[in-house]
Amino acid sequence: MFSKPLILALLFFIGISGLFGYASYHFYGEKQVLEERLVESEANAKLLSNSLLKAEKAHKIADTITSEYVFDSKDIITSKEDVLNKIDELAVVVEAKQEEKNEIKYVPLDGSLPVSIRRLLAESCVHAKGVACNDSR
């Protein structure tokens, strides 16, 4: 009924069709794996982008805090230097008065300080801490 060349051609086409079917199945599986990896990569890229934005915001906040701290510390240093200069001037005046009297005055540890030193200490406390100083003494 069928001739031998026709049977061979039919077997050849069936073999080729089988090969193409296997190749398309194999490549379809690889395509699915690559699509899953692509979706995961896109999600990871979005997460990394959000993390980068958060890191940049945190960096800006840290810069702001650092600059405010440096500015405040400069103010504290200048006020400390002013207070120290006033204390130095006060010490010179006290030494000059003591040299005139040729007396040495000692302040007892349990006694109270002179008014000028207490005022200077209170002023330096206000400069350093603000209104948190305890003026009850």
Q: Is the pTM of this model over 0.75?
A: no
Say whether 107 sits in a helix, a strand or coil.
coil
pLDDT at 77: 83
pLDDT per residue over 67-98, tens digit each?
A: 888 888 888 888 888 888 887 777 555 555 55
> Count of CB atoms within 10 A of residue 43's CB?
10
User: Which of 129, 120, 124 has the alpha carbon at shortest distance from 89?
Assistant: 120
pLDDT band at 51; cut points 50, 70, 90: very high
User: Which of 135, 115, 117, 133 has the alpha carbon at shortest distance from 125?
Assistant: 133
**Quick one: what percent of the chain has pLDDT higher than 70?**
77
User: Quick one: average pLDDT of 110-126?
Assistant: 76
pLDDT at 137: 46
pLDDT at 110: 63
Alpha carbon distances (Å) from 134 to 111, 116, 129, 130, 131: 19, 17, 10, 11, 8
Residue 116 has pLDDT above 70, yes or no: yes
pLDDT band at 1; cut points 50, 70, 90: low
